[in-house]
Amino acid sequence: MGAIVSLLYLVMIVAAIAGMWKVFEKAGQPGWAAIVPIYNLFILLQIVNKPVWWIVLLLIPLINIVILIMVSIALAEKFGKGGGFAVGMVFLPFVFYPMLGFGDERFQG
């Protein structure tokens, strides 16, 4: 049972990373940045035009949840999506990032 759960977890992580990679590429940023810790936050904040110092807020427990929601809303808007899609990006990134990255949505930066 543990092997199945581990495999499912690995699939979800790979899906989220692949989706974020494609989102970064659609936004004109290097896709590989999605796999580099902290740097991916820097690139994500650049994509949504938020101040770089928000990285500090993203590293503070509980505050990071609010900031992540705000960044997700801004990212969804950059691709012409609404708040509901942003909520999906927060709670189910392994589903919604691939939908955004591999879908037909265009970056409207």
Q: How far apart are CA 84 and CA 53, in angstroms?
A: 26
pLDDT in the model for residue 51: 95
Can you give the residue ranges of every domain in the chain? 2-102
HEC per residue, 14-80: HHHHHHHHHHHHHCCCCHHHHHCCCHHHHHHHHHCCCCCCHHHHHCCCCHHHHHHHHHHHHHHHHCC
Q: pLDDT truncated to tens, each residue of the chain (109 aa)?
A: 788 999 999 999 999 999 999 999 999 999 999 999 999 999 999 999 999 999 999 999 999 999 999 999 999 999 999 889 999 999 999 999 999 999 888 898 7
The pLDDT, as a whole number, for residue 2 is: 83
Q: pTM (2 decimals)?
A: 0.88
Residue 36 zone, left/alpha/beta (φ > 0; ψ -120 to 50; rest) = beta
pLDDT of residue 26: 94
